Amino acid sequence: MRIPAHAVCTAIRDDIVTGVFEPGGRLTEELLARRYGVSRVPVREALRTLESEGFVITRRHAGACVAEPTEQEAADLLELRMLLEPLAAARAARRRTDAHLKVLRGLVRLGQERARQGQGDDLRALGGWFHETLAQASASPGLISLLAQLRHKVAWMFAVQPPTRPVESWAERGAIVDAVARGDAERARALTAAHAERAEEGYRPRWRTARAGAAR
């Protein structure tokens, strides 16, 4: 059975994000095909997609390599996130379905419960699902795709510290859902912008984290 290129693309992207393939490292078609048990054709297609997303670059005489993001590119990434997440929340207030609201409210209840219990690992995953669902509720395919790419790149470029007040962080998410449920687009936008701004305090560029670790 032929494995589709998008599945190979997801696997390579995940390995880049988690650091299996480090910035600047070569990505040969032969190595990747062997790693994922596929032919070179889906690997070649996946690398083209990842290059368009900014995860891969093609260098003369070296071929495909993992991109090496600069500090400015990382800062730009967070700025884009600050613009797009509130936009998605505003659109979700106008376009969400009852199914979206049910999932969002369920995630908030679970997040608040886990926050009170201090289960940090669960909170990180729940937070990701919350923001992914909020984006889906915007019913804007282009925006959903951009935010998905942003989430991958943020995870790649930044080490994220858990919020110092997780219960309050989930209360903020609950307020966002309330605004979305009421169809209050401007309040949903404002609350999401404020939430994203506070969350940004916990983002540390990975190159700085790695340098600090090496210094110790």
Question: pLDDT tens-digit profile of 37-56?
Answer: 999 999 999 999 999 999 99
- The arithmetic mean of pLDDT across residues 108-136, rounded, is 89
User: Domain residues of the chain, as ranges?
Assistant: 5-66, 71-210
The CATH architecture of the domain made up of 5-66 is Orthogonal Bundle (1.10)
**pTM > 0.75:** yes
What's the pLDDT band for 125 if we cut at 50, 70, 90?
confident
CATH of 71-210, one of 3.30.530.20, 1.20.120.530, 3.20.20.140, 3.60.15.10: 1.20.120.530
Alpha-carbon span 129 to 126, nearest angstrom: 5
